Amino acid sequence: MFDFVDGAAVSQEQGTRARKLFAAVVLAALDDAIADDRKYGNGPDQIARWARSRDGREVLTCAGIDPNERVVEGLMEFVSKGVRTSVALSREESERRAAQLGESAPAAA
C-alpha cells in the first residue's frame, strides 16, 4: 500500500514539474513578444498568432492554461503593456501597483 502512495506522490511531483516547465515556455514566449513589440511594434499580434497555433495551444494546455480566446486577449493585453515577465512577477512591482491603486482609489471617489 505504501508503494502505491509513494508512486502517486512521485507522479504528482513529476506532473507539477512538467507544468512549471511549460509555464516557463509561456513566459519566454511573452518576453519574446514584448521584445518584438519594442523592436517592430507587432508584439500583440505575434503572441496571438502563437497562442492560436497548434503548438501554442498545446504548450498552454500543458502549462495548465485553457487556450481560449479570452486567454489570447489577456496575453495580447499583457504584451501591449510592455512590462517584462520577470518584472511583472517581482515583489517590488506588485507593491508598486498596490500603492498606485491605493493612491488612485481616493481620487476616484
Residues 56, 62: Cα–Cα separation, whole Å: 10
Domain count for the chain: 1
Expressed as residue numbers, the domain containing 53 is 2-108
pLDDT tens track of the chain, all 109 residues? Answer: 556 667 777 788 999 999 999 999 999 999 999 999 999 999 999 999 999 999 999 999 999 999 999 999 999 999 999 989 988 888 777 787 788 888 765 554 4
- pTM metric for this prediction: 0.77
HEC readout, the chain: CHHHHHHHHHHHHHHHHHHHHHHHHHHHHHHHHHHHHHHCCCHHHHHHHHHHCHHHHHHHHHCCCCCCHHHHHHHHHHHHHCCCHHHHCCHHHHHHHHHHHHHHHHHHC
